[in-house]
Amino acid sequence: MPPPRIEPYLADCRDLVVEEIRRITPPDGPWTGGLYALVLDYPLRGAKALRPALCIATARMLGAPLDAALPTAAALELYHNAFLVHDDVEDGSELRRGKPSLPSVHGVPVSVNVGDAMLALAMRPLLENTRLIGVRRSLAILDVLTRMAQRSAEGQAMELGWVRNGSWAVAPRDYLHMVYLKTAWYSFVAPMACGLIVADGSRLEVQLRRLATMLGIAFQIQDDVLNLMEAGVEADVDSERYGKEVAGDLWEGKRTLMLIHALACAPAAEAAEARRILDVPRSEKVKAEVAWLLAFVRRHGGIEEARRSALQHARRAARIYAQITPELPPSIHRDFLGDLIGYVTERSW
């Protein structure tokens, strides 16, 4: 179970950020075709709001007021939801946060436009930053978000390229580099770097970046593990709250750490059969094939290897946190960061 302080802190940050997003989202008019109602769809689906919470916690534990961090936190959440919409288009995902994805309901053109609108709206709070924290820090945050978007696209390009090209020459280090770009930078390094800038601090910058990297990698590996957990098979997984398509990574043929490990350990003929099924386009796969892949990953220790790696990265994060804790005054914001270390590998959604 996550530490008891984690979810209330996330919920408080989520409420603040959703209200900020509502404030900056225009009402629909006669010519918008319901665009802004769809912009609010994903943000209102009960997300964890982890990225804005990390931004707020980092800024607050270093002494910045909440009002100074809130616009950047809202921009991060808008960016995140825009990326989710585009990700659902690229992956053909059918579920998002327990409901049908936007592309599955409204189609690709409308969904891409909604994601584009979110990216445009994310600029508004960044402009408001110039009044709250000054031009210098506002430009520094914009620089971080620009690099975040670029690295996320690079990580996505790596992952999509492996599937598109039918490439199986993917080692664990390749997966970890992809995760560093796509998840660690996007979900942990950038939000914490933004919080650091809001607080106008450079103290602990190196340690916080290393901490964010370790947390981000552990978080993504656990996310991959949760994706392969079937309701009724793994009792510790909350399938309803997970809100994504179970085994979706196998339907999409994604190269996860679990799959890389299983392919390396399996007999040649069995590994070849797994690759054959994985290379079948999603629309042509059948449930029996995906069930076979799931059993294949389990049989060859893929889930255990992934959990081991996630815990290893979380332990590295814990060591860094222990080093910096004495340099930070006690606060719920500092405690949230510490609690997050256990949460990333223990969460069930």
Tens of pLDDT, residues 265-316: 999 999 999 999 999 998 899 999 999 999 999 999 999 999 999 999 999 9
Q: What is the pLDDT of residue 236?
A: 44
Q: Is residue 99 part of a domain?
A: yes
59 located within any domain: yes
Q: Does 203 map to a domain?
A: yes
Considering only 150-164, 238-252, 273-287, which range has the smallest mean pLDDT?
238-252
104 within 8 A of 22, measured Cβ to Cβ: no
- 253: Cβ contacts below 8 Å, ≥ 6 apart: 163, 278, 279, 280, 282
pLDDT at residue 234 in the model: 43
pLDDT attached to residue 231:
33
Instruction: Name the nearest CA neighbour of 83 among 189, 214, 191, 187.
Output: 187
Domain count, the chain: 1
If you average pLDDT over residues 310-329, what whole number do you get? 96
**How many angstroms separate the most distant Cα atoms in the chain?**
63
Say how far apart CA 334 and CA 57 lie, in whole Å: 7
Residue 240 has pLDDT above 80, yes or no: no
pLDDT at res. 288: 93
Q: How far apart are the first and last CA of the chain?
A: 11
Specify the pTM: 0.89
Lookup: tokens for 320? 């860094």
Q: How far apart are CA 152 and CA 83, in angstroms?
A: 9
Residue 264 is assigned to a structural domain of this protein: yes
Cβ contact 83:30 at 8 Å: no
Q: What pLDDT, on a 0 to 100 scale, did the predictor assign at position 349?
A: 64
Signed CA dihedral, 264, 268, 270, 274: sign only: positive
Q: What is the CATH number of the domain that holds 249?
A: 1.10.600.10
Q: Which domain holds residue 262?
A: 6-346
Q: Tens digits of per-residue pLDDT, 48-100?
A: 899 999 999 999 999 999 999 999 999 999 999 999 999 899 888 888 888 89
User: Residue 73 burial by CB count (10 A; 0-12/13-18/19+): exposed, middle or buried?
Assistant: buried
Q: For residue 308, what pLDDT is reported? A: 96
122 in a structural domain: yes
CB 58 within 8 A of CB 208: yes
Sign of CA dihedral 160, 174, 186, 14: positive
* Mean pLDDT, rounded, of the chain: 91
Given pLDDT bands bounded at 50, 70 and 90, which one contains residue 130?
A: very high
pLDDT class for 195, splitting at 50, 70, 90? very high
User: Residue 97 region, left (φ>0) first, then alpha (ψ -120 to 50), else beta?
Assistant: left
| Chain centroid offset of residue 123 CA | 20
Whether 227 has a pLDDT exceeding 90, the answer reads no
Is 1 a domain residue? Answer: no
